[in-house]
Structure 1
Amino acid sequence: MTKSELVEMIAEQQQGITRREAEVVVNTIFSVIGDALAAGDHVELRGFGSFTTKARQARTGRNPKTGEAVEVPAKAVPHFKPGKELRERVDQAG
């Protein structure tokens, strides 16, 4: 599902909300979650899951084209851990 499909589904399922309003809501939610993660915060949505950041250490990588060693700097990457209800729901669907 793409973001535009998500917006469309929200607009269809919620009476009295336009597609434009649904788009603003979805964009705002994504923006707030992204801002919180960038600030180093933990975002938990009960029943759905939690978003955190994980630290990756610096390492030596390799350029696949030339085979040359390349230093990859340390960085923080987003991580999602699904909640129990979401895991069970996906397991039942599969």
Structure 2
Amino acid sequence: MTETITRARLSEAAARRTGSSKADVAAVGEAMFALMRKALMEGENVKLTAFGSLQVRERAERLGRNPRTGTAHRISPRRTVIFTPSAQLRAALDKKTP
């Protein structure tokens, strides 16, 4: 079973690695997420070099079905965020295959 890496665990690891306090690292992380959220809400792409990019995509209205009952229902149009991994991340993941 895989483990979930939380924001708190990332902050702790970054604090240990950099020698900074957990509070300082957490504040920087929160600021970065706030800036990324703002950019995405304004329709901008967010590119994190050697990691990947985040893009806002428009999803059209469509007809969906309840898998249990088979009844059809309308799925409203919406905006969603798509993550595309970088070539470096894809290559690193390919090396890690079991």
Q: TM over 0.5: same fold?
A: yes
Q: TM-score, normalised by structure 2?
A: 0.82
1:61 to 58, 61, 64: 64
Ranges of 4+ aligned residues in structure 1 off by more than 2 Å: 60-71
**Unaligned residue ranges in structure 2 (runs of 5+):** none
TM-align CA RMSD: 1.7
**Unaligned residue ranges in structure 1 (runs of 5+):** none
Q: Deviations over 1:54-92 (max 9, x none)?
A: 111112334567765432211110001010111111222
Task: Name the % identity.
Answer: 30
Distance 1:29 1:61 in 2: 36
1:83 to 83, 86, 91: 86
In the alignment of these two chains, the number of paired residues is 93
Q: TM-score, normalised by structure 1?
A: 0.85
Distance 1:61 1:39 in 2: 29
